[in-house]
Structure formats: C-alpha cells, structure tokens
Structure 1
Amino acid sequence: MRKAKWVAAAAGVVMLVAGCGSEGGSDKDQGGSSSAGSTAGSSGGGSEAGGGLDGAAVTEEITAAATAAGFTEKTSDDPVPAELKNCMVSWQADADKAADPKKSFDATTAALGKGGWKEGQKVEQSGSIVMSLTKSDWTVKASRHGMSGFQMVLFVATDNGAECEALFKADLEKNKKS
C-alpha cells in the first residue's frame, strides 16, 4: 500500500512540474497548434483522454524508442494504480544492462522527438538530466541519474487533460485519508 501512495504522490509531483517552468507557462506546443495530428502516423493511437493518445499508445511509443536505443524495461515494484493506467505511464529502464545508459537515454529522447514529442524544459546537474517532452495532452518526464556506478533511467508520462487531472486529485485525496 505504501508503494501505491508513492506512485500517487509521484504522479502529483509530475503533474505539478509538468505545468511549471517553461516559456509561456506550458510545455504545450508554442504557436497555438496541437501536436495531436502527429499521432496519426504513430504506433497505437487509442483516444478518449489525451487528445488522441491513451496510456497504451504512450507506453508503446516509449517502449519502442527505449528498446531500439538499447534499453530493456525493469520490472517495477510500484505499478501505476489501475484507475490511473490510462492517465499515467511509468517505464523504468534497466540501466545496468545497457551498454551506455547515457547514449541510450539520448537516443531514446531523440527517437521520441522524431515521433512527434516536442522537447520542453531540460535541466542538467551533477550527473543527472531531467527533461520534458510533450505530445497532445501528454507530458513525459525523462530522467537519467548516474553517479559513482549508480544508474537510473525513468520515463514517467502523464495525461494533462481535465479528466485525468480530476482522477489524479481524487487518488491523492484517497491516499491522504489512508
């Protein structure tokens, strides 16, 4: 149960960070256009929330980009709660199995960019990098942390639409009470 709370809290942080800190107050495409049209040629493409993307489609895009770059997915002890599966994706790379986690991270984010994900804010500090990529109503927070033999690579995507925002808030409130 504690792990589910952590995932819900992480989702809340991702939602908060996703809306802060970029030029124009949003990580959405600048110039007023939506990149939803670019999803037509992408893999997957379920709709509902997310302006043309759903959790399965986002998972498929991240998986395709990361595995092509040399990552394998590391099984998480903290799965996304069932009620948030269409609003949040968490994909952790098994960085220890990658030949060069830095190059694989860079290749993954570049492949996502070629797939219509627009790069937003990027912070590099002390061997770590955290960057955001947006497509439609979704934001991926891609992070790579590496120091003294420790490597961690994580891609957490959230749907920033009103429907999912309400689900995230409800999940956070539910977990505050327990």
Structure 2
Amino acid sequence: MRKASWAAAAAGVVLLVAGCGGEGGSDEGKGGSDGSSSAAPAEAGGSLDAATVTKEIEDAATAAGFTEKPDDDDIPPALKDCMISWQPDAEKAADSKKSYDDTVATLTKGGWKESQDFEQQGSTIKSLDKNGWTLKASHQGQKDTFVLVQFIATDNGPACEKLFREDLEKNKDS
C-alpha cells in the first residue's frame, strides 16, 4: 500500500507540474527526437540525472545540519531514474526549520529556481525547478511536536511522465 501511495504522490507532482504549464512542466526544449528525458539536461547545458539531483539535495541538506533518515519506502525500480526522495531525520537537527530554510537557500544558489511557495499553520512547501526537474521541499510541524521534512524531486520529461502514469495505473486497484 505504501508503494502505491508513493507512486500516486509522485505522479501527482508530475501531473500537477505538467498540467499547470509552469516552468517545470513545459516540454519545450526537453528530450531528444525519441522523446526521452535523458537528452534534456545536455540540451539545456546541464547534466541533471537522478544521481546528480540526489547529490545536490544531500550536499545542501547535510551542510544545513540534516542527516539522512533511512527510508523504508522503496521507489519502484522503473521510477528510480525519474524520482528522488531524501528525508532528513528532523529530530536530530538542532532547528529543523532553520536547516530546511538553509537547505532551500543553498539549492537556489545552486541554480534551482523557486516557482511556488505555500505556508500555512506551521507547514511550508516550496517548489523548485532546474533543468526539467521539480523539487518539492516541505517542512511540516513545529518544534516540540511531530515534524516531517521531505525533499522529493521528479523528472518532468515525457519519458518519466509516461512511466509515472503507467505505475499509477498499475497500482490503481491496489
């Protein structure tokens, strides 16, 4: 059941971005003649792949005082090149909100462009875009209560969008 919710959440991010016509959802300039997303970073002058995105998130988050929390949710193998999840152990951070803000600031200095910002009742969700990827950075809760911090990035290229749709459809009845 958790894997199905994973896929649904990721597909929702991809479809939301693609459907909104925002910077991260545009297919213009993405992908090669075969529609694959792997050509997009080279065409855009960068070289973003899942490993690069993971490293950027990890470097920014650990520099801000976070340590990675082992994740028991597995990303389906077909989506591993299309989706990154990096969850810090917010309990170990001296000030999780400050570490979250510092992580986002470091990412924006590294070329991630903030496209959306939502804050309400102790929750902050920011969308950052870079070379065809969208990163949802969220901080929910307050000190001395339950705190959840997540960084989830998805490749918005047509090849990954197709894989997310297929995985969502496959897990629809689960």
Instruction: Identify the TM-score tier after normalising by the shorter chain.
Output: 0.7 to 0.9
* Equivalent residue pairs, number: 160
Identity of aligned residues (%): 55
Whole-angstrom distance in 1 between the partners of 2:76 and 2:154: 13
In the superposition, the TM-score normalised over structure 2's length comes to 0.84
TM-score between both structures, scaled by the size of structure 1: 0.83
User: CA deviation digits over 1:123-167, x for unaligned, max 9?
Assistant: 000000001000000000000001451111000000000010001
Q: Residue by residue, what CA displacement relative to the aligned partner does 1:78-121 show, whole Å, maximum 9, x if unpaired? A: 12111101100011111000000010000000000011100111
- What's the counterpart of residue 130 of structure 2? 135
Instruction: List per-residue Cα deviations over 1:2-35 (Å, max 9, x = no partner).
Output: 12111111111211333466xxx30349xxx98x
CA contact (8 A) 1:88 1:158 kept: yes
1:48 alignment partner in structure 2: 38
Paired residue type of 1:85? K
- Taking the aligned partners of 1:67 and 1:121, their CA distance within structure 2 comes to 23
| More contact order relative to length (CA 8 Å, sep ≥ 6) | 2
Hey, what does 1:155 align to over in structure 2?
151
- Given that 2:140 and 2:148 are in contact with CA atoms closer than 8 Å, whether structure 1 keeps it comes out as yes
Q: For 1:113-132, list aligned pairs within 5 A.
A: 113-132=108-127
Q: 2: CA distance between counterparts of 1:61 and 1:85?
A: 16
Summarize the Cα distance change of 1:86–1:50 in structure 2 as closer, same or farther, 3 Å threshold. farther
Task: List runs of 5+ in structure 1 lacking aligned partners.
Answer: 35-46
Alignment match, 1:26: 22
SS in 1 for 2:165: helix
What is the distance in 2 between the residues matched to 1:135 and 1:107? 18
Q: Which amino acid aligns with 2:157?
A: G
Structure 2, unmatched stretches of 5+, are: 30-36, 42-46
